[in-house]
Copies of this chain bind each other. A is one copy, B any other.
Amino acid sequence: MDGESLTYRLLRLVHAMDMATNAEVDDVLAELKLTHALADALWQLDPTADAPTMRQMAAKLHCDPSTVTFLADRLEQLGYATRSTAPGDRRTKVIALTSDGHAARQRLVDTAITRTPLARLTETEQRALHDLLTTAMTPQPQASS
C-alpha cells in the first residue's frame, strides 16, 4: 500500500552507499591526481591476483576495450601501472601495478575502508551484510531439466 517496494528502497540505499563512499575519498583522489574513472581502474588492479589483460579490465569495469586503452595510458603516465605483452600470446597485454601504483591503491583502499559509512557497522553486522550481498550476487545453481 505504500507504493514503494522494499526492493526499490534497497536499490536506492545501495546506490547511495556507493555514492557516499565515493564522496568521502574525493580529497585523496585529488591528492593522487586520480579521477573517479581512474580510481575505479586502480581499485580493480588487485595486487594479490594475476595481472588482468586489457580485455579482462574492460569486463571488470563494464566498459569498452578502447576505454581501457585510454585509462591504462593515464595510469602509465602517472607512473601507477605498466603494460607488458603476455607471455605465450603476443597480442594480449596485461596491466600491472608499479610500486607507486601499489602505494596509491593502498592509500585509496585504506581511506575508503576507514571513511565509508559501512565502517560504522560492527563486525557482526558487516558479516551479515557481506553474506546477504554474496547470496544475492551468486547465481543459483541451475535446476536440472
Contact = CB atoms under 8 A, between A and B. Distances in A.
Contacts of A128: 128, 132
Question: Chain A interface: which size bin?
Answer: 35 or more
Nearest to A12: B43
Contacts of A6: 123, 126-127, 130
Main SS class of interface, A:
helix
A4 interface: yes
A23 B62 contact: yes
A78 interface: no
B14 A130 contact: no
Given A9-B130, A14-B17, A18-B15, A136 B120 contact: yes
A37 B60 CA distance: 20
